[in-house]
Structure 1
Amino acid sequence: MSDKKVFFTGAGGFIASHVIPLLLEKDYTVRIFDNMTRGNRDRVNEFVATGKVELVEKDVRYGVGVREAIRGCTHAIHFATVSINKSVADPGESIDINMVGNNNVFAAAADEGVERLVFASSASVYGEPEKLPMHEDDKLNPLTPYCISKRAGEDLLGFYERTKGLSWNALRFFNVYGPGQKIEAYYTSVINHFIQRLRAGQPPIIDGAGDQSMDFVHVTDLAKGVVAALESEQANLPINIGTGIDTSIATLAKILIEAVGVDVEPVFNKRDVLVSRRAADITRAREVLGWEPTITVEEGMRALVRDSE
């Protein structure tokens, strides 16, 4: 067995299911730490069957359980979190899981001598950007308990770095999409909603002029960024993981209409909407991680349509 072992919270989820195969290819063993309330048990069982992955079915809110499970691990990836929409509906649970959970994992990693911790942060720490592309040194303005906990998580990593020498990278994920994603995923549910309507021969409905944009990054590319952050020489930085391209909702609709192959035009629901735009400056990801995306939005969306048939 390899002497490289990753403690991986929230690893029953969508993104982790793309990261774990890359870790196994690089000869890591993996200890999944997940309460499995939303985890994909079938997929986790497939990983466990390899003999290189084990499941500890516990909650990050319980510090003793975290401490026991992280012991003996050389690396850590912390994905366990409560989503944006759930954090607004129930701020108490969000603070409990996201803030207390963050501290439990970071403190245990520091005390147990983990060589590198990778934290799933979020582009949502920026709030509404003042300019594009969004750079890691831009002003942060997190707006929901989820976003606030991500920013606080980055600050907490800095504390454990200063006091106990913890080595970390915080990845600010932009709009992640790809095969295996739940259809209600907050930032990318628009993709699944459009595909469902197009399959039924109905046009996608867009609020306003469709100027709102996202930076869609394919989960295959993003997973490579996670592994690169686990192994990079440089550390202790927040790093954007996106494509640098802002794809408007109107453009997304056109891409998906073409991919599904139906003859419809989007319907624009004329009303005032907050035009939010997203695009990552990925200079730091290139320089620090040697990472950049390889899958264009057009390619990724076509593959998603094919996979969902």
Structure 2
Amino acid sequence: MKFLVTGGTGFIGARIVVNLWERKIPVVVADLSLNIAWAKQIALLKYDNDPAKRTELEEQIAQTSFINLDVSDKEAVNQVFFDHTDITHVIHLAYLMSAEVEANQQRGASVNILGMINMFDMAVEHRLSRLVFASSETIYGANHSVYGDENYAVKEEDFCSLEEHFYTYGVMKMLNEYTAQKYIKTKGVSIACMRPPIVYGDGRMRGSVLWACEFATNPALGKEVKLPFSKNSRDCWIYVDDVAEQFVRLALKPQLNHFSYNNGGHSVTAEELMQTVKSIVPDAKYEFDERVPRTSLVDRCDSSRLEHEIGFVPRSLKDGLKAQIKEARNRALQVTI
């Protein structure tokens, strides 16, 4: 067994790579802009007080292949599989985020549409055991009111029309899912996707939701937080390490009952989020933008399908925030030293 993780040194990708290292599963890490030091730091910082585990991880890291890869380049993608003929599983995360897509639609289409198709082709040509890719909660549109009851948690079968969408990114994810199901039906390959909500944690470095890191990391480091929406804005949040665990478990399970899965998470208002952080960091300081009543995302996602499929329930919001705050402080301490 060997995994290829594209976008493998990104915010979620690096956590998946560390998860695979912890399981002693060989992995090829590919990214357009490799940040090898970042992935190593996440792994080693996690076991700063466990020399034996650090040694094990260092051995796994030494055996890892790191590759600069543009997934929109079919020849380059082919070369990865020719150089590593033993790849059996792929977790595909190489994707341009919303702001990047809006700034450069041509590049966005090249990476997000053509790049995805290139990976689907690899699943066929190299008979992969499983390809799992990241879809998004944005496929459900930009407003929870489409689904009626504000307490309703959207399910995988729910759909909204293009008129209800805000992000080109989300519509691209819809096309990815549609295309994947064509490949499944016509080529007999094993492909699945997950639809993460807002993924929080320390270390997010790019994209239009940097606040999904800053809301807890800033207080951990004694800095103020500015959130670009009302304190009453409600969203669904999940911790980055839990998302990594979900991806790996879904990739490893021999047989799946479905194609698409909501990651789930905790549905809270921005004020509830703030109060949870304050229960850990009492002097946390927040500023909200009350001119923006809500984010352009759905509020609640039902995760029962995924929990049943892989037997994993994400940690509580408070436990996730404790982990993020601890990591942010340890990282800052390491930099200071």
1:11 aligns with 2:8: yes
The match for 1:90 is 104
Q: Tell me the alpha carbon deviations over residues 121-158 of structure 1, each in whole angstroms, 9 at most, x when there is no partner.
A: 11111112333211000014543221112111111111
In structure 2, distance between residues paired with 1:162 and 1:307: 43
Offset from partner CA, 1:20-64 (integer Å, 9 cap, x none): 23223434211122221xx42313567797333102212101111
Please state whether the residue corresponding to 2:61 is helix, strand or coil.
coil
Q: Is the 8 A contact 1:225 1:291 kept in 2?
A: yes
Give 1:152's aligned amino acid.
L
- Whichever structure has more helix as a proportion of its residues is 2
Structure 2 residue 75 is the aligned partner of structure 1 residue 80: no
Q: Which blocks of at least 5 consecutive residues in structure 1 are unaligned?
A: none
Q: Please say if residues 102 and 168 of structure 2, whose CA atoms lie closer than 8 Å, have aligned partners that are also in contact.
A: yes
From 27, 51, 62, give the equivalent of 2:73. 62
Shift of 1:279: 1.6
CA distance in 1, matches of 2:313, 2:319: 16
CA contact (8 A) 1:157 1:168 kept: yes
Hey, what's the Cα distance between the residues in 2 that align with 1:17 and 1:28? 14
Count, aligned residues: 299
Q: Which residue of 2 aligns with 1:147?
A: 170
User: Which position in structure 1 is the counterpart of 2:52?
Assistant: none
Mapping for residues 11-160 of structure 1, pairs under 5 Å: 11-36=8-33, 39-44=34-39, 50-71=61-82, 72=85, 73-127=87-141, 128-129=143-144, 130-131=146-147, 132-141=152-161, 142-160=165-183
Shift of 1:100: 0.7
1:137 alignment partner AA? E
Equivalent-residue separation in structure 1 for 2:109 and 2:119 (angstroms): 15
Q: 1:230 to 1:197 in 2, by over 3 A?
A: closer
Cα gap change, 1:219 to 1:122, in 2 (>3 Å): same
1:307 aligns with 2:321: no
CA distance in 1, matches of 2:27, 2:210: 28
Aligned pair 1:164/2:187, yes or no? Answer: yes
2:321 maps to a residue whose letter is: M
Distance 1:235 1:27, change over 3 A: farther
Q: 1:217 aligns with which of 210, 218, 238?
A: 238
Further displaced range: 42-51 or 10-19: 42-51
**Contact 1:82-1:94 at 8 Å conserved across structures:** yes
Cα distance in 2 for partners of 1:221, 1:55 equals: 24
> 1:94 and 1:187 mapped to 2: Cα distance?
18
1:250 to 266, 271, 274: 271
- Is 1:241 paired with 2:269? no
- Normalising by structure 2, we get a TM-score of 0.79
RMSD: 2.7
1:158 partner letter: Q
Instruction: Give the residue type in structure 1 aligned to 2:139.
Output: V
Contact 2:89 2:129 in 1 (8 A): yes
2:282 corresponds to which residue? 261
* TM alignment of 1:174-253, pairs within 5 A: 174-182=197-205, 184-187=206-209, 189-193=211-215, 196=218, 207-208=229-230, 210-232=231-253, 233-243=255-265, 245-253=266-274
Q: Are the structure 2 counterparts of residues 157 and 270 from structure 1 closer, same or farther at C-alpha, using a change threshold of 3 Å?
A: closer
Question: What do the CA deviations read for 1:215-249 (whole angstroms, capped 9, x no partner)?
Answer: 11111211110111102221551101122x31101
Q: Indicate if the aligned counterparts of 1:206 and 1:268 stay in contact, CA closer than 8 A.
A: yes
> What SS does structure 2 have at the residue aligned with 1:251?
helix
> Is contact 1:115-1:167 (8 Å) kept?
yes
Letter of the 1:63 partner, please give it.
Answer: K
Aligned counterparts of 1:114 and 1:168: Cα–Cα separation in 2: 9
> Which segments of 5 or more consecutive residues in structure 2 lack a partner in the other structure?
42-57, 330-337
3-state SS in 2 of match to 1:215: strand
Give the distance between the partners of 1:76 and 1:205, measured in 2 at CA.
Answer: 35
What displacement does 1:120 show?
0.8
When residues 290 and 270 of structure 1 are mapped into structure 2, their CA distance, relative to the original with a 3 A threshold, is closer
The 3-state SS of whatever aligns with 1:146 is helix
The aligned counterpart of 2:301 is: 280
Quick one: distance in 2 between partners of 1:203 and 1:304? 15
1:169 is paired with a residue whose SS is: strand
Q: Which amino acid aligns with 1:302?
A: K
